[in-house]
Each structure stands twice: as structure tokens, then as C-alpha cells.
Amino acid sequence: MAQTLRSPLTRAQIEKVLRCDPTANVVPFLPAIYEHKAAFIGSTPSAIARDANLLTRALIAEYENVEPDALAVGVDVYNLEAEACGCKVTFYEGDDTSIPGISPGDHVIPAGTDLSSAKVPNPLTDGRMPINLQAVRNVRRALGDDIWLRGAISGPFSLAISLVGAETLFFACVDEPEWVHEVLAYSGRIIKAFAKGYIDAGAELIIFDSQASPELLSPAMYEEFVLPVTTDFASWATSQGVTDVPLVIGGNTTRIAEHLVETGCNNLLCDFTGDFEEWSDLCQQYDRAMRRNISPHLLQKGSPDDIYAAAQAEMAKGAGIPGFILGTAVIPFGTPTANILAVKQAIVDAASS
């Protein structure tokens, strides 16, 4: 496997892929690097998640070491909005590389709470939102306007679980459906505010809603509760001038793929466990860009040659599909850089063959 890696794609090249333009002739490389950013600067996830300068350094080091076609501004991507609403996040000191997380049971909204006039956090002042926004500004200054820089926001259902608690929310889906809609509407207001902060700072967006996976939530419940608020968010983002709205739901989402293409999000994830053929047929039918992921276990434990072979196989399946993107599941902290670059090498070699 000879190393002949290319520079990141230009914004114009990426936009052609996202429009599913069959003349794009490139495949973006999107490794999912969040907590692993810290490894590039010898730091920890908890440290870079709380310091705009460290987060900036980690993002720039990621760009220099891996040269991905997009950077995502986020570390513990599901925590920031909930923390700004009052949830407590556990951080780790010293050399502990554990990922920050919402403390178990520390949810701030009891069942049945009236949320019609609940406060929406200010991304310029509340919690760690300002840290991410400052990192966006810093990276824009350092790397310029052409880099695809995406601000991480929680999806509505995942945020609702952080605010209310999983057990409470799932029971309420059966017993108090109108209240669940109210919680999700509140979540939608929060993520719009954070997204607006990112947009004003100079970032695009990426939405994470893996708690809405059919492995946790039935397709019927997704359609009833999550689809309307996600569709509303995508429409709002378009009204703000956002041309790319990626939606990331991990796991095997094949059973809700038809709902996901209905959200209006134009860049969807077929995770490594998803049905490639079914997903690709839907994305081609609806002109949605489709990202296919490489397994995180393989990336962490496999050899570069094994990873390269797996990436080659995915590239072969995606050949000729407009809007095809090759990415990875979340890369564990400490994954060897050579393993990540093996995925990119497969993209480069497929393009030259």
C-alpha cells in the first residue's frame, strides 16, 4: 500500500458531491474524529472540551495529520446543549482519557413540566457553547474559508433524553405523547439557537441523533415524534442559508431510512451495519448524499492493510453512485494515524484506477 495521499477537496468539489452531481468524480473522506482530536496534541478529551485554544490546536493538528475533507467542531458532541440547560457533565482530570458525559440520573426536566416558555440557552454565554464557537472563529482564521468546517449539534431526540432521561422519555412516548412533542419542540428551539451561533461564527452544521436509532426507538415512534421536529430543523437551516444539513444516526438505520430521506437533510449516514443496497437505492431516488462508514473496531484493532482492504470494498460498492462519501464510525481515542490514513489511501487509489 503505497502512500500517495491527496490534499483535502475544495469547497466547490465537495458541493458537487453534496448535490449528487454525477460529474463530481471525487469521493470525500470523512473520518469521525471527536475525542481522538486530543491525541494529536498529547492532551485529553476533557481538557480540549473545556478550552477554546486547546480545541483549536487539536482541530488544526487533526487537519495537518489526517487532512480530512471536513473538520467537525466537537468533542463530547451530545453534551453541550444539555449542559447549558443545567445538566451536570463529568470531566476527567490528569491523564484520564475518558470521554466527558452527563452524570447518570442528573436530568433537569421532570416528567410533565410545562416547557412552553422555558429558557433557551444563549450560545454566546452559556455553558461550553462559547468554547466551540470561538474554536470555529480561530480555525477559520487559521485555515481559511475553503475548508468544510462543521459545528456539532445534538439531534432533538438525543437532547431530549439528556434533559429528561431515557426511561422517562420512553415511557412518556406511550403515556404522555403530547408532552413528548413539547419536549422535542423545546429541544428544537435549543438546537436552532446553537446552530445559529455556529452559522454566525462561520461554520456549517452536522447533527447527531443516535439515540433515535431504531435499535432504541421503533420506526413508528420515529415517524410520530422525531421526524416532524427534524424536518422543521432542516427547513429552518435552509432558510438560514445553510446548503448542507448532515444527519448522523449511528447503528443499523435501514428500518428508518425512508423517514430519514424525508427529513430534508441532504447528507445521510449508512453506518457499517446498515444495508448498503437499500440505502444507496433510496439516496439515489431522493438525491441524497450517502456516507458509508468503516467499523470503529476494525479501525482501532485492525492492521492498515486490513483497513485498506475493507475501505477498498466499500469504494467498489460506491463506484458510480452520485453523492457517495466514505467515512468512519467514531474513531476511538489513541487509534493509530496510519489506520485512519489507510481509509483515505483506498479513496485515492480507487480514483486513480
Give pLDDT, residue 248: 98
Give pLDDT, residue 1: 57
In a domain, 4, yes or no: no
Give pLDDT, residue 343: 97
In a domain, 229, yes or no: yes
Paired with 89 in beta bridges are: 102
Give the contacts of 309 (CB within 8 A, at least 6 positions apart): none
Give pLDDT, residue 271: 97
Cα angle at 245 between 99 and 22, to 5 degrees?
A: 120
Counting as low any pLDDT under 50, the low residues of the chain are none
In a domain, 5, yes or no: no
pLDDT digits (tens, 9 = 90+) for 115-141: 999 999 999 999 999 999 999 999 999
Burial of 260 (0-12, 13-18, 19+ CB in 10 A): buried
Give pLDDT, residue 24: 95
Give pLDDT, residue 105: 76
Distance CA(217)–CA(196), nearest Å, equals 28
CA 205 and chain centroid, separation: 9
Question: Which grid cell is 334?
Answer: 489513541
In a domain, 162, yes or no: yes
In a domain, 175, yes or no: yes
Give pLDDT, residue 272: 96
CATH number for the domain spanning 155: value is: 3.20.20.210
Give pLDDT, residue 4: 63
In a domain, 6, yes or no: no
In a domain, 317, yes or no: yes
Torsion region of 44: left, alpha or beta (phi above 0 gives left; psi -120 to 50 gives alpha): beta
In a domain, 1, yes or no: no
Domain of 98?
11-352
Give the contacts of 31 (CB within 8 A, at least 6 positions apart): 66, 68, 327, 328, 331, 340, 343, 344
Number of domains in the chain: 1
Q: pTM of the predicted model, to two decimals?
A: 0.96
Give pLDDT, residue 7: 87
Give pLDDT, residue 331: 96
